Structure 1
Amino acid sequence: MDENEKDRILKVEIDVSGKLHLTPEKKKFTLIYRTATEVHWNTEINTLYSPKPRDWTYLEWFKHIIKVTKEECYCELNITEQTEWVNIPNELKKEITKAQQWL
Protein backbone atom coordinates (compact mmCIF):
# COMPACT_ATOMS: atom_id res chain seq x y z
CA MET A 1 0.00 0.00 0.00
CA ASP A 2 1.66 3.19 -1.17
CA GLU A 3 -0.70 5.73 0.30
CA ASN A 4 -2.58 5.76 3.57
CA GLU A 5 -6.33 5.59 3.56
CA LYS A 6 -8.05 8.72 4.81
CA ASP A 7 -11.07 9.11 7.04
CA ARG A 8 -12.79 12.01 8.73
CA ILE A 9 -13.21 12.34 12.47
CA LEU A 10 -16.91 12.84 13.11
CA LYS A 11 -16.59 13.50 16.84
CA VAL A 12 -13.99 14.24 19.50
CA GLU A 13 -15.27 13.59 23.01
CA ILE A 14 -14.14 13.30 26.61
CA ASP A 15 -16.50 10.82 28.25
CA VAL A 16 -17.73 10.85 31.86
CA SER A 17 -14.86 8.59 32.94
CA GLY A 18 -12.26 10.98 31.42
CA LYS A 19 -11.31 8.94 28.35
CA LEU A 20 -10.70 10.70 25.03
CA HIS A 21 -12.76 9.25 22.16
CA LEU A 22 -12.40 9.83 18.42
CA THR A 23 -15.22 8.69 16.15
CA PRO A 24 -14.08 7.93 12.58
CA GLU A 25 -16.63 8.27 9.79
CA LYS A 26 -16.11 4.92 8.04
CA LYS A 27 -13.08 3.01 9.26
CA LYS A 28 -13.23 0.45 12.06
CA PHE A 29 -10.11 -0.28 14.13
CA THR A 30 -11.15 -3.53 15.80
CA LEU A 31 -7.60 -4.91 15.97
CA ILE A 32 -5.80 -1.76 17.15
CA TYR A 33 -5.22 -3.35 20.57
CA ARG A 34 -2.58 -5.48 18.86
CA THR A 35 -0.36 -2.41 18.51
CA ALA A 36 0.17 -2.42 22.30
CA THR A 37 0.04 1.40 22.34
CA GLU A 38 -2.79 1.87 24.87
CA VAL A 39 -5.10 2.94 22.05
CA HIS A 40 -8.31 0.92 22.06
CA TRP A 41 -11.46 0.41 19.97
CA ASN A 42 -14.95 0.50 21.49
CA THR A 43 -17.04 -1.83 19.31
CA GLU A 44 -20.34 -0.68 20.83
CA ILE A 45 -19.98 2.98 19.86
CA ASN A 46 -17.27 2.66 17.17
CA THR A 47 -14.69 4.95 18.71
CA LEU A 48 -10.96 4.94 19.21
CA TYR A 49 -10.16 5.85 22.79
CA SER A 50 -7.32 6.45 25.20
CA PRO A 51 -7.08 5.65 28.88
CA LYS A 52 -7.89 8.49 31.27
CA PRO A 53 -4.79 10.72 31.10
CA ARG A 54 -2.21 10.11 33.81
CA ASP A 55 1.16 11.37 32.58
CA TRP A 56 -0.04 12.68 29.20
CA THR A 57 -2.44 15.51 28.40
CA TYR A 58 -5.50 15.10 26.19
CA LEU A 59 -3.60 16.85 23.41
CA GLU A 60 -0.77 14.31 23.68
CA TRP A 61 -3.29 11.46 23.60
CA PHE A 62 -4.98 12.95 20.52
CA LYS A 63 -1.63 13.15 18.73
CA HIS A 64 -0.77 9.60 19.83
CA ILE A 65 -4.06 8.16 18.52
CA ILE A 66 -3.57 9.94 15.17
CA LYS A 67 0.02 8.70 14.95
CA VAL A 68 -0.87 5.08 15.81
CA THR A 69 -3.71 4.92 13.27
CA LYS A 70 -1.45 6.40 10.61
CA GLU A 71 1.69 4.33 11.27
CA GLU A 72 0.18 1.04 12.45
CA CYS A 73 -3.17 0.95 10.64
CA TYR A 74 -2.30 2.98 7.52
CA CYS A 75 -5.22 5.36 7.95
CA GLU A 76 -4.94 9.11 8.24
CA LEU A 77 -7.67 10.58 10.44
CA ASN A 78 -8.57 14.25 10.07
CA ILE A 79 -10.80 16.66 11.91
CA THR A 80 -13.02 18.78 9.66
CA GLU A 81 -15.30 21.80 9.95
CA GLN A 82 -18.11 19.29 10.62
CA THR A 83 -16.34 17.51 13.50
CA GLU A 84 -18.51 17.53 16.63
CA TRP A 85 -16.81 18.46 19.91
CA VAL A 86 -18.33 17.01 23.09
CA ASN A 87 -17.07 17.97 26.56
CA ILE A 88 -13.94 19.47 24.98
CA PRO A 89 -12.86 22.82 26.48
CA ASN A 90 -12.39 25.58 23.89
CA GLU A 91 -8.66 25.87 24.60
CA LEU A 92 -8.15 22.14 24.00
CA LYS A 93 -10.20 22.32 20.79
CA LYS A 94 -7.92 25.12 19.56
CA GLU A 95 -4.80 23.13 20.48
CA ILE A 96 -6.07 19.99 18.73
CA THR A 97 -7.12 21.92 15.63
CA LYS A 98 -3.71 23.61 15.46
CA ALA A 99 -1.82 20.35 16.08
CA GLN A 100 -3.76 18.53 13.34
CA GLN A 101 -1.99 20.70 10.76
CA TRP A 102 1.39 19.24 11.77
CA LEU A 103 0.47 15.58 12.13
Structure 2
Amino acid sequence: MSYPLIQSLEILMKTDKITEIGIDGDERLYVVPEKEQFSMIWRSASEVHWNADLKCLYSPKPREWSYYQWYYHIIDVVRDEYGCKLSLDGDTKWINVPDQVRSQIYNDHL
Protein backbone atom coordinates (compact mmCIF):
# COMPACT_ATOMS: atom_id res chain seq x y z
CA MET A 1 0.00 0.00 0.00
CA SER A 2 1.29 3.45 -0.87
CA TYR A 3 0.95 6.47 1.40
CA PRO A 4 1.28 9.62 -0.77
CA LEU A 5 1.50 12.05 2.16
CA ILE A 6 4.33 10.13 3.80
CA GLN A 7 6.16 9.86 0.48
CA SER A 8 5.71 13.61 -0.06
CA LEU A 9 7.13 14.38 3.38
CA GLU A 10 10.15 12.14 2.75
CA ILE A 11 10.88 14.06 -0.46
CA LEU A 12 10.86 17.34 1.48
CA MET A 13 13.05 15.98 4.27
CA LYS A 14 16.62 17.25 4.51
CA THR A 15 19.35 14.64 4.49
CA ASP A 16 22.82 14.69 5.97
CA LYS A 17 25.64 12.17 6.07
CA ILE A 18 26.94 10.75 9.31
CA THR A 19 30.70 11.28 9.23
CA GLU A 20 31.48 9.54 12.52
CA ILE A 21 29.85 7.30 15.11
CA GLY A 22 31.63 6.60 18.35
CA ILE A 23 31.54 5.83 22.04
CA ASP A 24 33.31 8.45 24.13
CA GLY A 25 35.27 8.14 27.37
CA ASP A 26 32.06 8.54 29.38
CA GLU A 27 30.52 5.57 27.50
CA ARG A 28 28.06 7.77 25.60
CA LEU A 29 27.21 7.08 21.99
CA TYR A 30 27.79 10.04 19.70
CA VAL A 31 26.87 10.76 16.08
CA VAL A 32 28.61 13.45 14.01
CA PRO A 33 26.58 14.87 11.11
CA GLU A 34 28.45 16.32 8.15
CA LYS A 35 26.67 19.69 7.85
CA GLU A 36 23.61 20.07 10.05
CA GLN A 37 23.64 21.30 13.65
CA PHE A 38 20.98 20.44 16.21
CA SER A 39 21.56 22.90 19.03
CA MET A 40 17.95 22.89 20.23
CA ILE A 41 17.53 19.09 20.32
CA TRP A 42 17.40 19.21 24.14
CA ARG A 43 13.90 20.73 23.82
CA SER A 44 12.60 17.35 22.65
CA ALA A 45 13.10 15.99 26.21
CA SER A 46 14.36 12.77 24.63
CA GLU A 47 17.73 12.50 26.41
CA VAL A 48 19.44 13.27 23.10
CA HIS A 49 21.88 16.16 23.39
CA TRP A 50 24.04 18.36 21.15
CA ASN A 51 27.69 19.11 21.89
CA ALA A 52 28.33 22.47 20.21
CA ASP A 53 32.12 22.22 20.59
CA LEU A 54 32.38 18.78 18.99
CA LYS A 55 29.35 19.29 16.72
CA CYS A 56 27.82 15.95 17.59
CA LEU A 57 24.65 14.43 18.94
CA TYR A 58 25.05 12.16 21.93
CA SER A 59 23.12 9.90 24.26
CA PRO A 60 23.56 9.33 27.98
CA LYS A 61 25.54 6.32 29.11
CA PRO A 62 23.26 3.34 28.39
CA ARG A 63 21.28 2.08 31.36
CA GLU A 64 18.38 0.03 30.01
CA TRP A 65 18.87 0.59 26.28
CA SER A 66 21.71 -0.79 24.19
CA TYR A 67 23.96 1.34 21.98
CA TYR A 68 22.02 0.01 19.02
CA GLN A 69 18.76 1.28 20.51
CA TRP A 70 20.31 4.66 21.34
CA TYR A 71 21.60 5.03 17.80
CA TYR A 72 18.12 4.58 16.37
CA HIS A 73 16.62 6.84 19.01
CA ILE A 74 19.02 9.63 17.98
CA ILE A 75 18.19 9.09 14.29
CA ASP A 76 14.43 9.09 15.01
CA VAL A 77 14.51 12.20 17.21
CA VAL A 78 16.47 14.16 14.58
CA ARG A 79 14.01 13.07 11.90
CA ASP A 80 10.94 13.92 14.00
CA GLU A 81 12.21 17.19 15.50
CA TYR A 82 14.22 18.60 12.59
CA GLY A 83 12.85 16.83 9.52
CA CYS A 84 16.35 15.59 8.73
CA LYS A 85 17.34 12.09 7.74
CA LEU A 86 20.83 11.15 8.90
CA SER A 87 22.45 8.38 6.88
CA LEU A 88 25.55 6.24 6.92
CA ASP A 89 27.83 5.63 3.98
CA GLY A 90 31.05 3.76 3.34
CA ASP A 91 33.10 6.73 4.58
CA THR A 92 31.53 6.87 8.06
CA LYS A 93 34.24 6.52 10.73
CA TRP A 94 33.60 4.19 13.66
CA ILE A 95 35.40 5.04 16.91
CA ASN A 96 35.39 2.62 19.89
CA VAL A 97 32.18 0.94 18.64
CA PRO A 98 32.16 -2.83 19.26
CA ASP A 99 32.07 -4.86 16.05
CA GLN A 100 28.71 -6.43 16.96
CA VAL A 101 27.05 -3.01 17.42
CA ARG A 102 28.66 -1.68 14.24
CA SER A 103 27.39 -4.68 12.27
CA GLN A 104 23.86 -4.32 13.66
CA ILE A 105 23.68 -0.64 12.75
CA TYR A 106 25.42 -0.92 9.38
CA ASN A 107 23.42 -3.96 8.23
CA ASP A 108 20.15 -2.21 9.02
CA HIS A 109 21.11 0.56 6.59
CA LEU A 110 21.71 -1.75 3.63
TM (norm. structure 2) is 0.88
**Which ranges of 4 or more aligned residues in structure 1 deviate by more than 4 Å?**
none
Report SS of the residue matched to 1:81.
coil
Gaps of at least 5 residues in structure 2 are 1-7
| Corresponding residue of 1:13 | 22
2:70 maps to a residue whose letter is W
Q: Distance in 2 between matches of 1:53 and 1:34?
A: 20
| Corresponding residue of 1:83 | 92
Q: Which structure: greater helix fraction? A: 2
Shift of 1:71: 1.1
Report SS of the residue matched to 1:95.
helix
C-alpha RMSD of matched pairs (Å): 1.2
Gaps of at least 5 residues in structure 1 are none
Report SS of the residue matched to 1:64.
helix
TM (norm. structure 1) is 0.94
| Corresponding residue of 1:30 | 39
Q: 1:63 aligned to 54, 60, 72, which one?
A: 72
Report SS of the residue matched to 2:92.
strand
Shift of 1:99: 2.4
Identity, in percent, stands at 39
Q: What is the number of residues matched between the two proteins?
A: 101
Q: Which structure: greater strand fraction? A: 1
- Mark the structure with the bigger radius of gyration: 2
Q: Distance in 2 between matches of 1:67 and 1:100?
A: 14
